[in-house]
Every structure is written in structure tokens, then in C-alpha cells.
Amino acid sequence: MSIAGLRRATRESVSGLPREFWWLWTSTLVNRLGAFVATFMALYLTIDRGYSASYAGLVASLHGLGGVISSIGAGVMTDRIGRRPTLLIAQASTAVSVAALGFVHHPVAIAAVALVVGAASNASRPAVQAMMADIVRPEDRVRAFSLNYWAINLGFAVSSMAAGFIAEVSYLAGFLIEAGMTAVCAVVVFVKLPESRPRRTKAEEAAGEEVRLGHVLRDGRFMSVVGLSFLVAFIFQQGSVGLPVAMGGAGFSPADYGLAIAVNGVLIVALQIPVTRFIERRDTGRILIVSSLLAGYGFGLTAFAGSVGVFALTVCVWTLGEMLNAPTQTGLVVRLSPTQGRGRYQGMYTLSWSVAALVAPLVSGFVIDRFGAEWLWGLCAVVGTVAAVGYGVLMRRLPAETPAAAGAPVDAKSEVSTA
């Protein structure tokens, strides 16, 4: 592609989106640029504070548990008090708790604050996704979610590199910088983003009906998506939990793992936008099926890796699945979410990833210790196949989507299933 063609493609990828989206996108990018604590938390606890690896694992689990707890609560808040207030509360709480984490030294206090940090940082996700669905036209939502996902990975790539340099100077500086940048995000939300929660129609107000968590749980189609999302999330979690353990057990160094996993971030930053342009108008079901297979068999191929180069090639395979899955699945969630219940639906969707983050380390550790890493990669291939079949069955039951209606707001009565 020529430079002129590349410029035209980039312009088309970012054009037509409302100003509010770009402020929300900027907030996401700033937040991820300052995400240092998750990167160096284990090193901080084991090297700087002198705690055991087991304790560091406990703190990481409590951080994940906080995300599980807040997913549903934040979704309810998003619908009840609004997207903007939920974002402000989440980001302000994150800034305060992250700063506090840098000053507490007692192991019980560290564990307790880590739980709060996990809950606060995860609470913004349902609000961000619901606000994005509110302010972006239905036909542009896959592109918008993809651009937001791109910002997350760009910020993470930069912050991961910066975290190492900051940690050499001062771990406390890392905590304070993340707290400060999260506070900047809260200011951006407060100054630039209006509330986007759709107003209830007079008919809805007269009927007095509200989408509650019970409606979400009884929505069979949507809960099927949540279950399939958990399976896919379990696979992708192995990039940060199973892969480093397996490579270490095979005699590879941390630097080798860092080199292999860096391919993931580089590919997403370089290719996410053109990949999204390719899939934007294509069949949702087929994309989800292909992405599940790429994820499962991408990790499955790891069983045959014997060098850093081959490990990197397997990362390329499942990263392509990740790039296909992320914006497509998020768009499907919006498509199945009634307008007045987007927060609760997004909260339940976020829960699937939070639970996967808790379960994946336990399962991968057990399988590797009892049976060996090859069995874990075989399990990933099986799980990916199950997810692909599940998406194939699910999408046959959904009405055909049109470009204008993809992800469009739908009537709560017609879409909240009692199955």
C-alpha cells in the first residue's frame, strides 16, 4: 500500500466518530499509559518488600477478586446513577487507592488495599463500554471499540517499557505516577464528557419497568455469550499465566518470554486498525468462530515450540484471534443489550473476563504440575473448539443483522429473554 493509500485508510478509520468518543478514547489512553502497578507489583512485593512468591500470588488473586466483585456493582451503578458519575467514582477511587498502596507496608494492609484497587480500577469498564455504545452510531461501533482496544494496547506497551525504568528509580514513584494519571482521566471525564445515559421514554416511565440483574441472568442468549466469552478469555489469559511458567520450565529466561510476548503488543498496535477495516462489514458469527479457533490452536501449537522464534510465531497466531475477537464480541454484547440495561449487561460481560483471570492461573498451574505444559496447550485447543462450536450454534439463533442495525439499541421487552 502506498503512503497516500495508507493515509486515506487511516483517515477513513478515524473519521465520522463524535468528539465525545475521542475524549473518552483519550481518557482510556492516558489511563493505560500510566498503568505501572500491575506490571511491577510482583517484583515490588518480592524484591523491594521481601515477601514470598506465594504472598505475591495471593495479592494478585485479591486484586482479581476485587474486579470480580465490582463488575456487577459497577454495571448497576452505570444504569442507575449514570455513566459519567460511575466513571468519576471509579477513577477517583483508583487514584486514591493506588497512591495508598505505595505507602502501606503491613502484609494485611497491602492485601486489603490491593483488593480495593482491583475493584476500583475494574469498575470503570462497564461505564466506558456503555457510554461508547451510547454516543457512537450503530454502524460505527465495531470500529470505535477497535480504536479503544488499540489505545489500551498502545498504552500498555508504552507503560510496560516505562515501568522497568521507573522501578529502578523508585517503586513509590510508579504508584504516584499511576495515581496522578488516573486523576487526570477523572478530570477529562468531568470537564469534557456529558452524561450519555439514554432517557426513558414516556411509555417506559408509565410502565415502570426496569431492566434488573434478574432479567440479565434470564436472558439465555446473552448469558450464552457470557459463557463463551469466559472460555475465550480463559485461553487468552494463558499468555500471561501459562506461557511464562511453561517457558521457564523449559529452560527459557524471562528475557526470552519478554521477547516472545512483546510480539503480541507490537502486532496489535500495528495491525488492529487495518484488521478492523477488513472485518467491519463481515459476518459476526464467522469472525467469532475463526477467532476462537485461532486462539485455541494458536496456544495449542505452543506444545511444538522449541525456540523463542517458534514461540513468537504461536503468539502471532493467537494474537490475530485476539484482534478479531475483541471488537466483534464487544459489538455483539451491545447488540444484545437493551438500551436501558447496557450497564448491567456490560457488567455481566466484564465479569466473564474477571472470573477467567481468577480461574486461569489455578487451572494452568494444576495442569502443568500434574500433567505437563503440553496438556495445557491441548486443553486450550479443545476449549477454543468448544467456543467456536458454541458461537456457531448461537449465531444461528440470532436474527440477521443489517449494517444499520448492528449493535443498535433495542426494545427492552423484545430483547430481554425469559429463557
Among 90, 144, 138, which Cα is nearest to 118's? 90
Decide if 270 contacts 261 (C-beta within 8 A): no
First and final C-alpha spacing in the chain: 49
Average pLDDT over residues 169-175: 87
Which fold would CATH assign to domain 213-408?
Growth Hormone; Chain: A; (1.20.1250)
Query: Does residue 319 have a pLDDT over 90?
Result: yes
pLDDT digits (tens, 9 = 90+) for 287-316: 999 999 999 999 999 999 989 999 999 999
Average pLDDT over residues 197-203: 67
| Segment among 24-28, 152-156, 301-305, 375-379 with least mean pLDDT | 152-156
The confidence band for 402, taking pLDDT boundaries of 50, 70 and 90, is: very low
Percent of the chain with pLDDT over 90: 31
Please tell me the predicted confidence (pLDDT) of residue 48: 81
Higher pLDDT, 211 or 253: 253
pLDDT digits (tens, 9 = 90+) for 260-269: 888 888 898 8
Average pLDDT over residues 361-387: 91
Q: Which residue has the cell 497516500?
A: 4
Decide if 134 contacts 221 (C-beta within 8 A): no
pTM for the whole structure: 0.77
Decide if 326 contacts 267 (C-beta within 8 A): no
Percent of the chain with pLDDT over 70: 88
Please tell me the predicted confidence (pLDDT) of residue 35: 77
Question: How far apart, in whole angstroms, are the C-alpha atoms of residue 107 and residue 48?
Answer: 13
Question: How far apart, in whole angstroms, are the C-alpha atoms of residue 124 and residue 30?
Answer: 14
User: From the CA atom positions of the chain, what is the Rg in Å?
Assistant: 21
| Region(s) of the chain under CATH 1.20.1250.20 | 18-195, 213-408
| Segment among 32-41, 56-65, 118-127, 373-382 with least mean pLDDT | 32-41
Query: Does residue 199 have a pLDDT over 90?
Result: no
Does the CA dihedral 115-119-120-125 come out positive or negative? positive
Average pLDDT of the chain, as a whole number:
83
CATH placement of domain 18-195: 1.20.1250.20
Long-range contacts of 54-58 (CB under 8 A, 24+ apart): 55/107, 57/361, 58/111
Please tell me the predicted confidence (pLDDT) of residue 216: 84
